[in-house]
Amino acid sequence: MERIAFTMQLKSGVKDEYKKRHDEIWPEMVAVLKEAGVSDYSIFLDEETGKLFAVLCRQDGHGMDDLPNKEIVRKWWEWNAPLMDVQPDNEPVSKPLEEMFYLP
């Protein structure tokens, strides 16, 4: 099992909508993430900067690299694109983070 973390950028004034959409995440989206080997996925918000901090675990031999090819993922990105910084294909702009400390 590998843990990874990354940041994304939320647009101003959309915190409540972003939270609502994730509280009501589509079951099909959850299923595709779990099928890809993702678990223990959390997203936190720094309200001062709008910076989102995400951390998740993924199984060895995970299928995360194929997620952008899944129709439900593309629909999720498109639906959430107005709320955050995205690339031309609506994938959230994300920045991987280097782990500096871990206390299991």
Active-site residues, by number, are 22
Q: Which residues of 71-90 are buried (b: 16+ CB within 10 A; e: fewer)?
A: ebbeebbeebbebbebeeeb
Amino acid at 16: D
Three-state DSSP state, 12: coil
Number of residues written out for the chain: 104
Three-state DSSP state, 69: helix
d(CA 15, CA 44): 11
